[in-house]
Structure 1
């Protein structure tokens, strides 16, 4: 959280309205030590606005997680795409590929899937159901799900559901997008075997389903045999149209029906279908050899993906697979070099940004210090000017009173006595003396003794000689203003004031 705050110090964060229930209000970050750091709304909602996100789980943002993962997956394969969100928002994500194809990711469990909407491929989100009959008809369906990552975040898993086998899950990185289909390591290549007692054999490397027929009778009754013929022909048509990996098993199934014997009409149909399948396989093998040869000459990522797609064919030779595997090693080495170069470039860019950020922070700090020093200087100047103005006003207020007070103190000296300011006010009628502040009194007595020679006692000694603590304090402040040293203790000061009082009385 500390790193996040530093990186996005000048960025405001808001409750996104693309999330279901989002209110659009500003968010703040909360740094916690007893739970996960998180975002929170400013204020407590006292203005009447409540955020609907607080009552919803993270699953309501699956459309945004879906876009993020698919966009990253497509970027690593240099495939450009645009994403849209059909209404109601969050129910689905549509991926528009640059070649015009579209992928529909259906996420709403409560809305029917639009199988006839024109999407090139439909992918079902977590918990979306598909009728068993439709799954058997389609032969497979792709699915996605989200798993929580330790420490925060979510990962996307990609799986393929096959009739009677459930869904096998794998990483999204293992999915290959070709010009013909969306391939995974678990996608089936043919439909279930139409012949009785068919046995499925799964090869670990390619996860292909190969049909091996174990015949138990010499012939099949006519009605049942015709039904099997129709199923075999349908399987071959579907394989030729949509499932290249299913053509070889479907063709073998047709050959097995011919070998088992059938009616002349069915025999003719099977032979025509067998010819179609064999010609397709021959053309496929020729295409596969040509692609492998071009791949050896020009090992590009696009050509490699095409070759990988063709190597999933059940009749791909070991020599072809080894050639593609060698190119894979070469391409991975190039990819690692490119990734390392990109990482070095990103590291250099981050380092430059950090230096620029540090320099900018230092400049801002220096400017802040300069502004603070300037403000402090201005404050000191204003305070000094204000103090000078106060002092000048105090001097002007007390200047006219100084002669009368000095005269009253001299009269007290002639009469061999001490006095106080209230007594002077009473005897002189100077009512202004009663309205003077302590600072005004100090300024007044400084003015009274301003002409006193350095070796002569201060006239204010006659006020302090009474021993009153307030008078002693006043005398100390006046003496300090005039640069006269005084004893530190009050006892020493009283002893000195007694001597000064005697000296002031003596001339008279």
Structure 2
């Protein structure tokens, strides 16, 4: 029985081989190939998704040359036979050669993700705890997110390299400002691998794999190195909002100095916002800058289009719009945003955020309004958290914001920022809360509890929090304070804008005693608060990083 399929790829030697080959299509090229490799045997390899049967090379002058199964071969249900069907093996072999040339330790494996053995190639670099995923098959966002979490479980960083464009590459491009790509080109009996860097202009700059650098921190080309030096800050996601949104600016509450929703030509205000059919929440509003804006205690209705901006993770949300108008007394009271009489002029329409008229002279001033809590720009939206989940989110957001500002924080400041309920917490309850804030423990995510200070030093009960998180040897180690300082540096690096590479987490594994006597501690000398307090003051007030140990 004749085999009419044009099988272009095979493996050499045996059915389990990972040594791929492409049969030259022209007769004269096949003649040269046969002369150069007379002892080769070809197989429909299992790592190609084939049957494992032996193949023979067929020479033709009127059509392309190709491989064919022997008459004794088993039934073959191989899905892909073309030139690209062995790309995963060519990529695997190319990366292995690069690792050997660069003298970098690494493991390279192909992955079957459901569509066949050529779905992906995984590379693990143990020295840098970094993974590379060459994604050759198609993947949707849900599968990509699940795979990203799985790869991150034992790695400090992941490089995704995609064979084809689509929604996922656009997502990565919008998130990081660049995207890594891979392609293969046929050269004789080989597929030459190229790695590309795609920028926001959607242009891809390609570099042969053998000219790339493979280091413990990932794969580097001349173009990716330039992009890494100026990473883009990912913008928020925007959703359209229905009409009927009303708001009143918060009195004497300044907008955040550092927010992912800040944009050129716009300004952020803290306001009490009431979407149609929803309760009032404290949040941020984004308005056009450079013109007069709304003022408390007046109530305003958004006119025209509005969008909700949502930041990644737990940084919160903001409402963005261009036009609004001030409501009259009766309409303002119906919103529930004000209950005291408005003694100023009736509503004055504000075109593109114009300034309303001044109140008439001789009117009594509005009673003073005081804020009890500093606003928390997260799910709690500036009010005291009411549920356990809201409290956890508010504490986590506050600690993340402190890390972004390169500052530490005391429990008393946490009480003032989040909720007075925290002041009633016992030491055991504080430990329970911090364990939940930092669970689960992951190497590439800093422990935010390390930012908390008491009398200028890390928390005295941190040694009872860390064992419950799974930090090895933390229950008996005498280096918890040093561990907290290093973890604080990691948090500052992770949340900096732009973010910096984190140093490895400090190991608390006991070491053998040194032959010489250790240097005497200087804690508590030369200044109040001890060494750690001085470091924190330098970070928090001067914005300077501590030097290397």
Query: Could you say whether these structures have the same fold, taking a TM-score greater than 0.5 normalized by the shorter chain as the test?
Result: no
Normalising TM by the smaller chain, what interval? 0.3 to 0.5
- Choose between structure 1 and 2 for higher RCO, CA contacts under 8 A separated by at least 6 residues: 2
Q: Determine which structure has the larger helix proportion and give its number.
A: 1
* Alignment TM-score, normalising by the size of structure 2: 0.35
Structure with larger Rg:
1
* Alignment TM-score, normalising by the size of structure 1: 0.37
